[in-house]
Structure 1
Amino acid sequence: MLSWLTRIALACWKPVRRYARMSKDDDLDDSSIGDSLLWCRELDKHSFGDFSFAVVQANEVIEDHSQVDTGNGATFVGVYDGHGGPEASRYVSDHLFLHLMRLARENGNISEDIIRGAFSATEDGFLTLVRRTCGLKPLIAAIGSCCLVGVIWRGTLYVANVGDSRAVIGSVGRSNKIVGEQLTKDHNASMEEVRQELRSLHPDDSHIVVLKHGVWRIKGIIQVSRSIGDAYLKRPEFSLDPSFPRFHLSDPIRRPVLTAEPSVCTRVLRPSDKFVIFASDGLWEHLTNQEAVEIVYNNPRPGIARRLVKTALNVAARKREMRYDDLKKVEKGVRRFFHDDITVVVIFIDHELLGKEVPVPGLSVKGFIDTVGPSNFSILQGIDANARSTYRK
């Protein structure tokens, strides 16, 4: 028996291929028609190996933005999962990497502080945009984005995030088995640790976290505790009036409810580290960390990000008593009843390339919108380039 929600979606089926603006998808495992809302790059090169990239749209306007930037001796990954609209995630995609490169050039290196500075500059820039435009578009104050960033440089992996997108590293352990290790923290009120943190920061606010319809939400509104944007939960000047009841706060905020301060992880890459999966929470709603790393480890590299997305979509379809072949026919917007926008980037790490000057085209790939251009990572060639040779296995 199909659920009532599925019946509604089935009744809304329309041809969607003519609306798609992305690369068409051809199934990896069968000859049936592809998913017109699925974009991918099967396999490309970065300085330390290969990468695979895939995005599937669910919302009427996609709210996931993403990028991979490659250069000689450096690789950058960004996954930006927007909410309330695409403006914040698009802004992050257009600005965070540029802030990172500017700060790296000014300071002569890449470090945790440089990455934090890039997050802070991006947050400040977006809040300035909100201030300039909120008179014409008040709801921009309620638009935000999770932000997950990874940088590989000098044999070291830096990962930073706000929100609940996730980076998971696949490492070979005992008996040659792959083990998934989560490198990021989920800044989501569903986590007891996050609720305790919020309560300790707001001891005078008994409604800082509220269980609403079985879901823990901050101020009864939002699940993520850290983000870029969401200005109305950070500064009183951006509070929305009662004409927007979904985002209206009964009491003015006395201090920021959310923060844009990222959690940052630094890891010197080990020979056992084989790949890193960067993905928005749309993937992790349907796959565990271990399931994801096993899929990557046990299948060919080409198209592996698409394989992860399709596996998640198969799970999402089964939850609604459907087949993925049926889900493919559901148009964007209606698809959001079944799954979220999903972005996946898999970065493979070939250790024989770490610390070597391997010529790789400096490319900047923007996910889903399918744009490819030169990358600003070339500026790192002048930042103590000889230091890269100090990496040892």
Structure 2
Amino acid sequence: MFEWLTKMVISCWRPAKRCAHGQGVTDCQDPLLWGRDLCSHALGEFSYAVVQANGILEDMSQVESGSFGTYVGVYDGHGGPEASRCINEYLYNFVLNNITEQGGMSCDVLCRAFRETENKFFDIVRRAWQIKPQLAAVGSCCLAGVVCSSKLYIANLGDSRAVLGSFSPDTGSVARQISHEHNASIEAVRNELHAHHEDDPQIVVLKHGVWRLKGLIQVTRSIGDFYLKKAEFNKEPLIARFRLPEPLKRPVMRAEPECSVIKLSPQDDFVIFASDGLWEHLSNKEAVDIVYSNPRAGIARHLIKAALQEAAKKREMRYSDLRKVERGIRRHFHDDITVVVVYLDPKLLNEPSNTSNPISAKCPIDMPQGNRRRS
């Protein structure tokens, strides 16, 4: 286990500086932006892109194709990259195992896979507690989607978001948010927390103009963050700023995803899966309209550039100047952003899937060494 842990905490990798069409190519103008312009999946095509802002990239993502359909995951880490990398390593395999055991896809398949991934990371944190206690304060948002038999299954923890793009002659383009977010900035989330923690008036605190769970973190559900789930991890040797002033009586964060099933129609053209860094700067409708207004190839990169242009505008600077800012310092202007745009082919959606034998067939993506993402 410790050999695997050591590999997880190696410092971050700068993308290879290549300026040509191909796999995992870095943008010529922005060395922290890279991705794949277009690739096939079981039910259509997809485009992905990533821009790094933190000193260590904490986002991970994957696209997997198999006889069951297509799986998409976006994992936005915080406090470190270990939780998102653990999800990237294990969640999809747990989904496959559960599909096989249950004989098909369901929300229960996804929810069980989330629990198994949470348990896997808990075991890592527990075994490393004495040598790396700070892992207890590492967590990750987790957005997963499975397209199977003309249905889209969505499960989410945290504040990444999935948006379905549709079009009809009568209404034009429509942006439909199909995932539920768990962030203390949302009034309904705060109300839910107060209802479940009536004896704790400090369950959410407005700190520096931002609502935070226990004054520490904005997201309210995650994989990891065991310092807010288990009392044994909210004490020394965890550093003081993560320790609560009173003993943790019960978990204040959860790892239960909200899951929904969407019946796809011929008007449903694509799904945008993205970490919250994109949605901080673009609305659902703006993002969907950008996808409809531009070619498929490179569309994920185009979305990120639109978000970065907005980030630069908010800071009253030129986008060309923002592109020159180094990772680490760049975090003061925007977050790590991961975007996967999954196009849906109606003809392929209507073909029967074979969920009894969900063998994964990969389309390789050449990501920078150390940040490899499955596809």
Shared fold (TM-score, shorter chain, > 0.5): yes
Q: Look up the match of 1:350.
A: 345
Could you tell me which of 129, 134, 158 is aligned with 2:129? 134
Matches of 2:44 and 2:61, distance apart in 1: 19
Q: What SS does structure 1 have at the residue aligned with 2:217?
A: coil
One-letter identity of the residue aligned with 1:139: Q
Cα deviation, 1:192-229, whole Å, max 9, x if unaligned, reads 00000000110000100001111000100011110000
User: TM-score when scaled to structure 2?
Assistant: 0.89
Larger radius of gyration: 1
Cα deviation, 1:228-271, whole Å, max 9, x if unaligned, reads 00001001111133872321101111111000000111011111
1:287 matched to 2:282? The reply is yes
- CA pair 200-176 structure 1, distance change in 2 beyond 3 A: closer
Q: Look up the match of 1:249.
A: 244
Matches of 1:182 and 1:71, distance apart in 2: 26
Q: Look up the match of 1:381.
A: none
Q: Look up the match of 2:49.
A: 54
- CA pair 314-370 structure 1, distance change in 2 beyond 3 A: same
Q: Look up the match of 1:387.
A: none
- CA pair 281-22 structure 1, distance change in 2 beyond 3 A: farther
1:79 matched to 2:74? The reply is yes
Matches of 1:83 and 1:23, distance apart in 2: 26
1:70 matched to 2:65? The reply is yes
Matches of 1:81 and 1:196, distance apart in 2: 24
Shift of 1:284: 0.3
Check the 8 A contact 2:165/2:176 in 1, yes or no.
yes
Matches of 2:127 and 2:347, distance apart in 1: 50
Matches of 2:364 and 2:103, distance apart in 1: 22
1:330 matched to 2:325? The reply is yes
Check the 8 A contact 1:69/1:364 in 2, yes or no.
no
In the alignment, structure 2 segments of 5+ residues that lack a partner are 1-12, 22-26, 354-359
Q: What SS does structure 1 have at the residue aligned with 2:266?
A: coil
Q: What SS does structure 1 have at the residue aligned with 2:170?
A: helix
Shift of 1:175: 2.8
User: TM-score when scaled to structure 1?
Assistant: 0.85
Q: What SS does structure 2 have at the residue aligned with 1:363?
A: coil
Shift of 1:309: 0.4
Shift of 1:25: 5.7
Could you tell me which of 73, 84, 87 is aligned with 1:89? 84
Q: Look up the match of 1:262.
A: 257
Matches of 1:239 and 1:370, distance apart in 2: 30
Q: Look up the match of 2:35.
A: 40
- Aligned identity (percent) is 53
Matches of 1:366 and 1:176, distance apart in 2: 39
RMSD: 2.1
Q: Look up the match of 2:167.
A: 172
Q: Look up the match of 1:162.
A: 157
Check the 8 A contact 1:63/1:82 in 2, yes or no.
yes
One-letter identity of the residue aligned with 2:192: E
Q: Look up the match of 1:296.
A: 291
Matches of 2:279 and 2:244, distance apart in 1: 30
Could you tell me which of 194, 209, 216 is aligned with 2:211? 216
